[in-house]
Amino acid sequence: MQRSCLERLCQTLVFEAGGLLLAVPLYEVFFGRPADEGLILLVTLSLAVLIWTPLHNIAFDRIEHRLTGRPASDRPHALRLLHAVSHEVSPIVVTLPLILWVGQHSLSDALAVNLGLTLFYVCYAYVFYLIYDRLRPLRFTPLV
């Protein structure tokens, strides 16, 4: 049983909006930048990750299929682990240039921003999906 594509889209939009509402003030406090600069940077990063994530998943699936002939649904544990790590590390690589350019940060500050945002979003995602699943549980109806 899965959520519909429309619900996943709405869920993603609510997740991103909530993340921005929480992350922009934190960015302002920790990096001493105005909220409007933080909003521009974080919206840019959100869009980059929203574009990058499906591209990463498609590329990973196609490369795996080309090398093994196996569909992603039959991926063994080791490749699932590699996929998960690359899924989390690759956005850091994708967003670092944006933090340098849009945020006008030094390399050390950009790395700190990236690490801080990564840690924030891991914690935020845990809490968000826990609350979301409690508010909108999937109902299992067995086939008779």
DSSP three-state, residue 2:
coil
Count CA atoms closer than 13 A to 46's CA, side-chain side: 19
The share of the chain scoring above pLDDT 90, in percent, equals 58
| Average pLDDT rounded to a whole number, residues 13-19 | 94
Domain boundaries, the chain: 5-135
How many Å apart are CA 66 and CA 101, to the nearest integer? 36
Mean pLDDT of 77-89: 88
pLDDT of residue 71: 82
How high is the pLDDT of residue 2?
A: 73
Which pLDDT tens digit goes with each residue over 85-120? 898 889 899 999 999 999 999 999 999 999 999 999
What is d(CA 54, CA 73) in angstroms, rounded to the nearest whole number? 16
Of the candidates 37, 34, 46, which has an alpha carbon nearest to the alpha carbon of residue 91? Answer: 46
- What local confidence, expressed as pLDDT, does residue 89 receive? 87
pLDDT for 4 equals 84
DSSP 62: H
Does residue 5 contact residue 11 with C-beta atoms inside 8 Å? no
Amino acid present at 28: E
